[in-house]
A and B are shown apart, each in its own frame.
Chain A
Amino acid sequence: MKIKHLVSGIALTMGASVLSISAMAADTIKVGVLHSLSGTMAISETTLKDTVLMMVEEQNKKGGLLGKQLEAVVVDPASNWPLFAEKTRELLTKDQVDVIFGCWTSVSRKSALPVLEELNGLMFYPVQYEGEESSKNVFYTGAAPNQQAIPAVDYLMNDLGVKRWVLAGTDYVYPRTTNKILEAYLKAKGVAAEDIMINYTPFGHSDWQSIVSDIKSFGAEGKKTAVVSTINGDANIPFYKELGNQGISAEDIPVVAFSVGEEELSGLDTKPLVGHLAAWNYFQSVESDANTAFISKWKAFTGNPDRVTNDPMEATYIGFKMWTQAVEKAGTTDVNAVEQAMIGQETENLTGGMAYMNKNHHLSKPVLIGEIQDDGQLEVVWETEGLVAGDAWSDFLPGSKDLISDWTAPISCGNYNTVTKTCSGQNY
Chain B
Amino acid sequence: MRYLNAICACLLGLLISTSVLAETPSEAQKPLLLELTEVKLSKALPVLQQLEASEGADMMALFKTMLNGDLYYEKETKRLIAALKEQSVTRYSDLFTGAALNELSSNQVKKIKVNNTLRGYLGEAIARMQLNHPDSAVRTDAVRSLFSDLGPNTIELIRTARLNEQSRSVQEVMDVALALYRAAHSDDATERLQAVKDLEGSLEPEVRNQLTKLAENDPSRSVRKAAQIGLDKIDQQAEMYGFINQLFFGLSLGSVLLLAAIGLAITFGVMGVINMAHGEMIMLGAYTTYVVQLMLPNMIEYSLWIAVPLAFMVSGLAGILIERLVIRHLHGRPLETLLATFGISLILQQLVRTVFSPLNRQVATPEWMSGSIEINPLLSLTLNRLYIVAFALLVFMILLIVLKKTSLGLNVRAVSQNRDMAKAMGIRTDRVDAMTFGLGSGIAGIAGVALSQLTNVGPNLGQAYIIDSFMVVVFGGVGNLWGTLVAAFTLGVANKFIEPVTGAVLASILVLVFIILFIQKRPKGLFPQKGRAAE
Using a CB–CB cutoff of 8 Å, the interface residues on chain A facing chain B are 40, 42-43, 160, 171, 199-202, 204-207, 209-211, 213-214, 217, 220-222, 234, 237-238, 241-242, 244-247, 249-251, 254, 267-269, 274-275, 371, 373-374, 379, 381
Interface residues of B in 374-399 (CB under 8 A from A): 374, 380, 382-385
Contact status A381-B454, CB under 8 Å: no
Task: Report if B272 contacts A (CB, 8 A).
Answer: no
Query: How many inter-chain contacts with C-beta < 8 Å in the A-B complex?
Result: 114
Complex alpha-carbon distance, A53 and B505, angstroms: 39
B500 proximal to A (CB < 8 A): yes
Confirm or deny: B66 has a beta carbon within 8 angstroms of a beta carbon on chain A: no
Pairwise interchain contact B500-A251, C-beta atoms closer than 8 A = no
Q: CB-CB < 8 A to B455: which residues of A?
A: 206, 238
Instruction: Give the contact stretch, choosing among B53-61, B325-333, B356-364.
Output: B356-364
CB <8 Å contact, A210 and B456: no
CA distance A205 to B256 in the complex (A): 14
Once bound together, how far apart are the Cα atoms of A245 and B380, in whole Å? Answer: 10
Bound Cα distance A379, B382 (Å): 30
A267 with B504: in contact, given A40-B460, A245-B370, A245-B371 (CB under 8 Å)? no
Interface residues in B63-118 by Cβ distance below 8 A to A read 69, 113, 115-116
- In the assembled complex, the CB of A271 is this many whole angstroms from the nearest CB of chain B, namely 8
Q: Is the CB of B365 within 8 A of A371?
A: no
B130 contacts partner chain A, Cβ-Cβ < 8 Å: no
Contacts A201-B504, A222-B205, A222-B213 known; 9 new A-B pairs at CB < 8 A:
A200-B505, A209-B249, A209-B252, A214-B500, A238-B456, A246-B382, A251-B116, A374-B69, A379-B41
Q: Is the CB of B113 within 8 A of A210?
A: no
Asked if A254 contacts B206 (CB within 8 A), the reply is no
Q: Is the CB–CB distance between A381 and B119 below 8 Å?
A: no
Residue of A241, A244, A274 touching B69 (CB-CB under 8 A): A274
B303 to chain A, nearest CB (A): 13
- Contact A206 B456, beta carbon cutoff 8 Å: yes
Q: Quote the shortest CB–CB distance from B116 to chain A (angstroms).
A: 5
Given contacts A200-B503, A242-B382, contact A234 B464 (CB under 8 A): no
Chain A residues positioned under 8 Å from B374 (CB to CB)? 247
Pairs A–B under 8 Å by Cβ, sample size 14: A200-B503, A201-B504, A213-B249, A220-B205, A221-B205, A234-B456, A242-B382, A245-B371, A245-B384, A251-B120, A254-B116, A267-B361, A268-B360, A275-B116
B154 within 8 A of A: no
Per the bound structure, the CA–CA distance linking A201 and B505 in Å amounts to 6
**A160 vs B120: C-alpha distance when bound (angstroms):** 12
Which residues between 201 and 247 of chain B lie within 8 Å of chain A, taking CB atoms? 205-206, 208-209, 212-213, 242, 245-246
Asked whether A275 lies within 8 Å of B253 as measured between CB atoms, the reply is no
Which residue of A is nearest B206, CB measured? A222
A-contact bits for B479-500, CB 8 A (1 contact / 0 none): 0000000000000000010011
CB distance from A375 to the nearest CB of B (A): 9
Residue of B nearest to A241 (CB): B365
**Given A200-B504, A221-B209; A209-B385 close (CB under 8 Å):** yes
> For the complex, what is the distance from the CA of A222 to the CA of B384, rounded to whole Å?
29
Residue from B41, B116, B365, B499 whose CB has the most chain A CB atoms within 10 Å: B116
**Inside 8 A of A374's CB, which chain B residues have their CB?**
69
* In contact, B359 and A269 (Cβ under 8 angstroms): no
The reply to whether A247 and B256 form a contact with Cβ atoms under 8 Å apart is no
B372 & A246 in contact (Cβ 8 Å cutoff)? yes
B249, B359, B364 pick with most chain A CB within 10 angstroms: B359
Collect the chain A residues with CB atoms within 8 Å of residue B123's CB. 251
The smallest beta-carbon distance between A174 and chain B, in angstroms, is 16
Number of interface residues of B (CB under 8 A): 50
Partner of A234, one of B120, B256, B458: B458
Contacts of A267 in B (CB 8 A): 359, 361-362
A234 touches B382 (CB 8 A): no
Interface residues of B in 441-490 (CB under 8 A from A): 454-456, 458, 460, 464
Nearest CB in chain A: distance from B73 CB, A: 17
What is the CA–CA distance of A205 and B209 in the complex, to the nearest angstrom? Answer: 32
Are B115 and A275 closer than 8 Å at their CB atoms? yes
- Complex: A202 Cα to B41 Cα, angstroms: 38
Assembled-state Cα–Cα distance A379/B112 (Å): 12
Instruction: Determine how close the nearest CB of chain A comes to the CB of B92; give it in whole angstroms.
Output: 16
Contact in complex: A205, B504 (CB < 8 Å)? yes
When the two chains form the complex, which single residue of B364, B380, B500 contacts A269, counting CB atoms closer than 8 Å? B364
Contacting residues of chain B (488-526) with chain A, CB-CB under 8 angstroms: 496, 499-500, 503-505, 508
Tell which of B113, B245, B456 has the most Cβ of chain A within 10 Å.
B456
Docked pose: A22 CA to B298 CA in angstroms: 55
B249-275 at interface with A (beta carbon < 8 Å): 249, 252-253, 256
Q: Closest chain B residue to A209 by CB distance?
A: B249
Write out the residue numbers on chain A whose beta carbons fall within 8 Å of the beta carbon of B372.
Answer: 245-247
Contact with A along B382-421 (1 / 0, CB 8 A): 1111000000000000000000000000000000000000
3 closest residue pairs by CB, A with B: A222-B209, A220-B205, A206-B455
Would A244 and B464 count as touching, CB distance under 8 A?
no
Q: How far is the CA of A334 from the CA of B453 in the complex (A)?
A: 54
- State how many angstroms separate the Cβ of A414 from the closest Cβ of chain B: 32
Give the complex CA separation of A242 and B455 in angstroms.
10
Most buried by B among A209, A241, A274: A209
Contact A247 B371 (CB under 8 A): yes
In the bound complex, what is the Cα–Cα distance between A194 and B120 (angstroms)? Answer: 27
Q: Which residues of A contact B69 (CB under 8 A)?
A: 274, 373-374
A43 lies within 8 A of B500 (CB): no
Q: Which among B206, B212, B253, B358 is the interface contact of A43 at CB below 8 angstroms?
A: B358
Contacts of B253 in A (CB 8 A): 207, 209
How far, in angstroms, from A160 to B458 measured CA to CA in the complex?
36
Q: Given the complex of chains A and B, what is the CA–CA distance between A195 and B534 in angstroms?
A: 56
Contact between chains at A42 and B382 (CB < 8 Å): no
A165 to B440, CA, bound (A): 46
Inter-chain contact A211/B358, CB cutoff 8 Å: no
Residues of A within 8 A of B116 (CB): 160, 250-251, 254, 275, 371, 381
Select A210's contact among B205, B256, B359, B496, beta carbons within 8 Å.
Answer: B496
Question: In the complex, what residues of B have CB within 8 A of residue A371's CB?
Answer: 115-116
Q: Which one of A42, A207, A268 lies within 8 Å of B358 (CB-CB)? A: A42
User: Is B460 a contact of A381 with CB atoms below 8 Å?
Assistant: no
> Which residue of chain A has the shortest Cβ distance to B70 in the bound complex?
A374
Chain A contacts for B456, CB-based, 8 A: 204, 206, 234, 237-238
Chain B residues near A373: list those with CB within 8 A.
Answer: 69, 113
Q: State A373–B370 Cα separation when bound (angstroms).
A: 20
The answer for the CA separation of A268 and B458 in the assembled complex, in Å, is: 12
CB neighbours (8 Å) of B115 from chain A are 275, 371, 379, 381
